Amino acid sequence: MNIDLEIEQIVEKGKLITEGLKEYKNTIVNLDDLEELYKKLDKLYCEIHVYYRVNNSESFDFFYKLYSELEELFELKKDQEFADKAMEEYRSFNSKNEINLIEWILKYQRSLEHFCDNSENEYNLYQKLNTTKLNVIVDITKYKNSYEFNIKYWNHWLDIYFKYRPEKDKDLNKIKEHTIENYLIYHNKYIEIIKKYNKNK
């Protein structure tokens, strides 16, 4: 098939899918109500050949940005069960007690790529879709624990990370992988907790 024609067909499919968002113009919509639209965008993007993604990315920007924004929100739904458990435990202890906090951080440790920056909109459970001019607000209150876990965990992680990060470059250079576990080991702190959650330490 002609490359230009194939790209044109992909763009038309993207336009058709994103048109569905107009139904929610100037309204507040529950995240679950956008799931079908999100799945269609996900399917479309997955079908795009990697060559086109790299060399013709500007052609797909209009729907890829929306897809990425929705993908981040649907991570909250995906993580609901995990976050419910984590936040229930978090609320059961005093977070000013560092032993409890360290154990919680290590027990519920996630890949850092998993976390989004909510610093400007902390505890905002109504998220505006910034990639569209339709003024669509997404209600994520159903997944409050996922959202709150994201914020709480990231903030505590940063506090502990920089508290125990060696100050001198010569000491930092001795550490191969810059993780909370390795910084704590360097200071000989909470070794038993580290062993409990990381069998390789």
Percent of the chain at pLDDT > 90 equals 68
User: Tens digits of per-residue pLDDT, 4-42?
Assistant: 888 888 889 999 999 999 999 999 999 999 999 999 999
* Pairing between β-strand 126-128 and β-strand 137-139 as defined by DSSP bridges: antiparallel
pTM check: above 0.95 = no
User: Is residue 190, in this structure, part of any structural domain at all?
Assistant: no
- For residue 89, give the nearest of 132, 148, 19 by alpha carbon: 148
Is the predicted pLDDT of residue 104 greater than 70, yes or no?
yes
- The answer to whether residue 137 is domain-embedded is yes
Identify whether 24 is part of a domain.
yes
Buried b (16+ CB within 10 A) or exposed e, 117-137: ebeeeeeeeebebebbeeebe
Q: Does residue 102 lie within any of the structural domains?
A: yes
The residue range of the domain holding 81 is: 3-164
Number of structural domains the chain divides into: 1
Q: pLDDT band for position 47 (50/70/90)?
A: confident
Q: In the predicted model, what is the mean pLDDT of the chain? A: 89
Q: What does the pLDDT read at residue 110? A: 76
Average pLDDT over residues 58-72: 89
**Distance spanning both ends of the chain, measured CA to CA:** 54
Model confidence band, residue 115 (pLDDT cutoffs 50, 70, 90):
low
DSSP 50-91: HHHHHHSHHHHHHHHHHHHHHHHHHHHHHTHHHHHHHHHHHT
pLDDT score of 201: 47
- Position 169 in a domain: no
The vertex-30 CA angle with 18 and 70, nearest 5°, equals 45
* Rounded CA separation 97/116 (Å): 26
Contact 104, 96 (CB under 8 A): no
Q: Cβ(139)–Cβ(31) under 8 Å?
A: yes
Task: Express each pLDDT in 128-176 by its tens digit.
Answer: 999 999 999 999 999 999 999 999 999 999 999 999 999 888 888 889 8
Distance (Å, whole) CA 105 – CA 31: 28
- Secondary structure (3-state) at 178: coil
- The answer to whether position 198 is within a domain reads no
